[in-house]
């Protein structure tokens, strides 16, 4: 059975490991025009570790995926984000969402703080207010690999009201209150360093997926109840 997006990966022989990014164009006429081939690293905007992109790989119907996001999940012909994580163990990924929620609770932080660090999501990119869990309705083709480390935010973004609002300031302050040193250039000021993997699934539409669950990413207990897990007590450093 063909995948819903396999044509995006059928690059010419002289352009191996290239992706047709025309699906990102706004109008149907633009999308049906000439193909626009870009290398996997360029097409994914450096979201993967350099040299660490694996695939293409085929994902099967029924596979469950998750992410934290501040954006609504489109339905029907609406486009769906390319970036997702496997909900359960998958390939090199030995831990799934359940373990991420447990680790967040153990570290005394809500899932969105843990996921921002593990998933390398710059503050100005997304407020990650909610967790979304979906399943694939059809086979899909994807790229796979580790998250590329990122700084917590770009300095230039803070001076641009198009990307930075008081809510972003509040996110940084919340992380500071929780003990993160956001001025440390080689420590907490960097996102990543956790053995976490992601999927890049281009060309997904709302009709290709089913939303299984959505909840505020602040509420570990609520998410744990849906997952059917018991959360550990937060770690306390004792002297």
Rounded to a whole number of angstroms, the distance between the first and last alpha carbons of the chain is 60
Is the pLDDT reported for residue 93 higher than 60? yes
Burial call 68-93: b when 16+ CB within 10 Å, e when fewer = bbeeebeeeeeebbbbbbbbeebeeb
Predicted TM-score (pTM) of the model is 0.90
Work out the angle between the directed axes of helices 220-227 and 97-106 (0-180°, nearest 10): 150
Model pLDDT, residue 188 = 54
What does the angle CA 139 – CA 140 – CA 145 come to, to the nearest 5 degrees?
135
Report whether 114 contacts 68 (CB < 8 A): no
Model pLDDT, residue 163 = 76
Rounded mean pLDDT of 11-33? 82
Per domain, the residue ranges of the chain are: 46-227
Q: Dump pLDDT digits (tens) for 143-192.
A: 999 998 888 888 777 777 877 888 888 988 888 888 777 766 555 557 77
């Amino acid at each position: 059975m063909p995948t819903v997006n396999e044509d995006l990966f059928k690059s010419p022989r002289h352009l191996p490991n290239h992706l047709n990014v025309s699906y990102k164009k706004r109008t149907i006429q633009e999308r049906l025009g000439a193909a626009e081939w870009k290398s996997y690293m360029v097409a994914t905007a450096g979201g993967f570790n350099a040299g660490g992109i694996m695939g293409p790989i085929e994902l099967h119907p029924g596979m469950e995926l998750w992410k934290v996001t501040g954006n609504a999940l489109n339905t029907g012909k609406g486009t769906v984000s390319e970036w997702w994580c496997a909900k359960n163990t998958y390939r090199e990924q030995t831990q799934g969402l359940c373990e991420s929620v447990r680790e967040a609770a153990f570290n005394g932080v809500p899932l969105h703080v843990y996921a921002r660090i593990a998933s390398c999501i710059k503050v100005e990119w997304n407020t990650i207010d909610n967790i979304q869990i979906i399943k694939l309705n059809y086979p899909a083709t994807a790229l796979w690999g580790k998250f590329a480390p990122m700084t917590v935010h770009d300095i230039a973004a803070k001076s641009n009201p198009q990307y930075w609002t008081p809510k972003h300031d509040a996110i940084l302050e919340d992380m500071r209150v929780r003990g993160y040193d956001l001025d440390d250039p080689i420590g907490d000021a960097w996102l990543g360093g956790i053995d976490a993997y992601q999927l890049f699934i281009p060309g997904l539409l709302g009709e290709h997926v089913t939303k299984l669950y959505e909840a505020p990413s602040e509420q570990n207990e609520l998410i744990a109840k849906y997952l059917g897990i018991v959360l550990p007590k937060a770690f306390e450093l004792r002297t």
